[in-house]
Chain A
Amino acid sequence: MTASMQQFTELITMTAEHSGVDFYRSKWGKERSFEALPTISREDFLRVPLSRRRYKVEKALVKVVHDPSGVFLSEWAFSDIAKEAYGLASARPLVYMTSPHETIEKAMWCYGNGVVPLAGEKDPDIAMYAAGKYRVTSMITDPEALQKFKPYFDSHERLESISVVGTAFDLGELQPFRAYADTVRLVLALPETGAFAEAPLSSEPRFTALPDCFIERDETLVVSKQLPLVTPIIRYRTEIPATFYDGT
């Protein structure tokens, strides 16, 4: 057994034996073998209240996640947020996301990594004004928010990095942004799973799994994370086509 599988085994045992909540146990029954565990999905997060998915108690941020089928809460310990690979090291990061909850979380990632973020306000004009004042050096954003920020780049210095966080990327629309930063990276992430793969922006990006993440290719990507999160991510079935991850 690899060290990584050993960690998953420990996480599965800990999760299955948790005395307070049964989110996974009710799904798994008596099964404990990683490969044989049934997958979970967003539907499970929508169905089961947060209080029945909370596997640890720490200082934490709680987000509202919107889905066409409804809304649910997702809780992230501040210490876990800091370990995610949302951005790259930079002195003055700007976080500008479509979802205000994601903006707050990614900004807390910055704090967790020792830098003070600027949280971009919803109004792009105010966000760009503030970014200019702070002389931002990097940006964490999503594909939709990034497009709104385009006017900023034409009149300001090139950034060190832009991290585009999401589950789908229109490469044609993103290509022009390569001119605006030394590094433009795509980060596959969901609000409830955190980040799990990354790729440099190119015409054919090749994603690689992030540390502590394990990605299975079925018709869609199935994600597992080794870290014991507030709601651990064990065989979470995304809606991201496996072909996308392969870069084909």
Chain B
Amino acid sequence: MMERSDIAELSEKIIGDMIAHPSPDMILRVTSGTSGSTPLVLVTEYDPDAPKAFIGEGFKQYLTLTGSLSSRLAHVFISSRMPSGAARVLALDHRDLRPELNDLLSDYRPDIIAGFCSYIARVLAHLSPAVSEMVKRVELRGEMLSAAFETTLRDQFPRAELFEKYMALEVGGYIGNRFCASLPRGSFHPVPGVSVEIVDPDEEGIGDIVVSKRVFRSVRLDRYRIGDIGCIIPGECACGESVTFELLGRRDMDHIRLGGALLTRNEFDRVIGKFPDLIDDYRVEARRGGQATEWGTVRLRIFRRAMAGTPELARELADRISRSLFVTRTKTFHDLAASGVLEPLEVVYVDTPFERAHKDIKLRAV
């Protein structure tokens, strides 16, 4: 089994090989370090034989909304190599998100938008209904797609097909695609050349996603534990694909185990979404174990643009959220706090917005 430390070592070898035997069909990428680890410098080979649907062949006006510059460059580079027709690519930066952008995008008229959910969410306000109507495809990557945001996207882009891509830079890009119309949100078929398995599954079959694939010349990743949690969906898909897996999130970020409790980003999004007037943004810090409890403690920090809430309101919210938040199949946070295995949920209001990293990470084990 390979871990991230193995990838760091492997990336050094690959760069050495690339320097010794250069080729112009390479893409250098730098991980953002969002997950708290040292950044990696990775080399990806451009694959001219990749299925054209995967890279948006046939579209004319690309709008790319990703974080790192190296990812944006990769997208631009791939666009420049597409074999057919003329295509333009505009890779927006956060600094471009100002009122004048509305007019620029009305002039540019993207027909495909690709990027992180949180980044796309910020750009929606800059797209007029007429421009949104012209978008034929939205490709999501890098972050979990929530049910609420999927609905938002379908409303905003009535004529667009919605595709999810499961990617990781350290494995050289694509792992899975949700191009198949039969797949629900967050489920993928592995792309050709990639094998996916689940290791250390719990009683529900949820475990670590492990990936094997060729990443560079003759270098292969052999059973790399990618750091995400998921499960295999049994049976053959209606489209004929034999392997389907569900991505449940980043271990210790979107998906945190505290003893027998499972905190998930999706569940927090669902419950927090019930309080739109009281909560504009939130972050969860989970700490395993402790002196007072067997399983751990959870602190929910919330931000409200209009005005920070009072301590009384925070206490009321803590009670209402913990009674709605399921942390096992049948038990809420409140149930487990009442039985003493978890500390009662702590809720605090903060005065300033949360810092935004490349990715929109809301849960974190500390």
Contacts and interface: CB of A to CB of B under 8 A. Distances in A.
Interface of A: 49-51, 57-64, 66, 70-73, 75, 78, 91-92, 100-101, 103-104, 107-108, 111, 114-122, 126, 129-130, 133-135
B148 to A, nearest CB: 29
Given A50-B108, A116-B22, A61 B100 contact: no
Given A104-B69, A116-B24, A134-B41, A51 B76 contact: no
A101 to B, nearest CB: 7
Nearest to A52: B107
Given A119-B28, A134-B41, A73 B104 contact: yes
A115 B22 CA distance: 8
A64 B73 contact: no
Contacts of A72: 104
A130 B24 contact: no
Contacts of B87: 59-60
Contacts of A117: 28, 73
A103 B69 contact: yes
A104 B107 contact: no
Given A58-B86, A104-B91, 11 more contacts: A59-B82, A60-B86, A60-B88, A61-B76, A71-B96, A75-B88, A78-B80, A100-B72, A104-B72, A119-B69, A129-B39
Nearest to B98: A71
Contacts of B69: 100, 103-104, 119-122
Interface of B: 12, 15, 18-19, 22-24, 26-28, 30, 32-33, 39, 41, 68-70, 72-73, 76-77, 79-80, 82, 86-93, 95-96, 98, 100-101, 103-104, 107-108
Contacts of B12: 133
A101 B93 contact: yes
A38 B91 CA distance: 33
B76 A104 contact: yes
A122 B70 CA distance: 10
B19 A135 contact: yes
A117 B72 CA distance: 13
B80 A118 contact: no
Contact of B107 (A73, A107, A118, A134): A73
Given A59-B80, A108-B80, A122-B69, A73 B93 contact: no
B118 to A, nearest CB: 17
Given A62-B108, A107-B73, A116-B22, A121 B30 contact: yes
B88 A61 contact: yes
30 contacts: A49-B103, A51-B107, A57-B86, A61-B90, A62-B88, A64-B92, A64-B93, A64-B96, A64-B104, A66-B95, A71-B101, A71-B104, A73-B108, A78-B80, A91-B19, A91-B22, A100-B72, A103-B73, A104-B91, A107-B73, A108-B76, A115-B22, A116-B23, A117-B73, A118-B70, A119-B30, A119-B70, A130-B39, A133-B15, A134-B41
